[in-house]
Amino acid sequence: MRPPMPVWHLSFSKHFSRAQTLIAVLASMIVATIACLSSAAGPPQTGLADRHGGGERRPVTQPRELADDDPGSPGQPPGNGPLGSTAPTAPQLPAARPGTGGADVLARIPAFPPAPPAVKIELPQGPTAAWLSRIPTTQKVAFITIDDGWTKQPEAISLIRAAHVPVTLFLTMNAIRSDPGYFKELQAAGAVIEAHTITHADLRGKSPDFQRREICGSADQLSAIYGRRPVLFRPPFGNKDPMTLQVTHECGMRAAFFWKETVDKGVVRFQEGHTVLPGDIILMHFRPAFADDFLAALQAIHDAGLTPALLEDYIP
């Protein structure tokens, strides 16, 4: 018969066994914690961005191109209908790098002779503003108009300054609110600012009060910001009705305008024929491809043997 174990030996064995169990439990917890952390982190992410510097992550998406019929970001009015655009025939220029205004871009500006002294046209008398898509003139001039103001690139300012050509800006109040000073720089470069409503609403069929708020209201606000009250108006999308022209006249503006050519992504589209004609009004927008559009408009005018002129100089 073996002698009984000493009491001190039994106590040591019991505590040692408990220590082993505790160590095993702790090791299991550490392994589980590491596994959870690895699972939460996941594989390396690509195409993600942190928002506001915190831990929330979301997919990065490219800015959505301004669509012609996108009511949230008004772009170029549609070219269908009786005055719809034909297929482009103007040469497509090489793409300019957005946000630059370097010598490579400026070198693409064509040279023009001076515009002839303007001969003002006659506007119809009556209670409504005139409606024009071309200035009735035989002078070798064409007119560049730029709408909205949603995209504000420094390159546009440097291009207009370098080109030394007159442009008319039909500005939408909601589009320019984020940086009205940007258009003061364009104004200082020679651009003339005219009205294009407050919200870029389609005016056709709207009540007189609605149209008055949009048309007169935009002229009032532009006057307060830029120190000159607009005398010309362009309805969004080129859509109007008789009330639009009546309200335009009541608001102190002399004429409202459509267009004969449009420019988008460096391509000129013609509504009549395949070249810019004397007196034609060209429509473009403040868009990401502003440099390509502006240079394409200038080249089309140059190819037609015309010179850019100021629209306001021809309106009495």
What is the domain partition of the chain in residue ranges?
A: 103-314
Q: What is the pLDDT of residues 293-306, one digit of tens each?
A: 999 999 999 999 99
pLDDT band at 66 (very low <50, low <70, confident <90, very high): very low
With H, G, I as helix, E, B as strand and everything else as coil, classify residue 104: helix
The whole-model pTM stands at 0.72
Average pLDDT across the chain, whole number: 80
Task: Render pLDDT for 196-232 as a digit per residue (tens, 0 to 9).
Answer: 999 999 999 999 999 999 999 999 999 999 999 999 9
CB count within 10 Å of CB 181 equals: 9
Average pLDDT over residues 249-261: 98
Q: Tell me which CATH code domain 103-314 carries.
A: 3.20.20.370
Check residue 4 and give its pLDDT: 52
pLDDT at 71: 36
Of 303, 307, 272, which Cα lies nearest the Cα of 137?
307
Percent of the chain with pLDDT over 70: 68
**pLDDT above 80 for 22:** no
* Alpha helices (H) along 94-192: 103-106, 154-163, 173-176, 180-188
pLDDT at 51 over 50: no
Q: Has residue 15 got a pLDDT over 80?
A: no
Using CA atoms in the order 31, 37, 40, 45, what is the torsion angle rounded to 10 degrees? Answer: -120
- 101-131: burial string, b at 16+ Cβ within 10 Å, e else: beeebbebbeebeebeebeeeeeeeeebbbe
The better pLDDT of the pair 63, 145 is held by 145
User: How much is the pLDDT for 13?
Assistant: 47
Average pLDDT over residues 120-148: 97
pLDDT bucket at 101, cuts 50 / 70 / 90: low
- d(CA 53, CA 180) in angstroms, rounded, equals 29
Whole-angstrom distance, CA of residue 288 vs CA of residue 73 = 13
pLDDT recorded at residue 103: 79
Per-residue pLDDT, averaged over 169-188, amounts to 98
> What is the model's pLDDT at position 20?
56
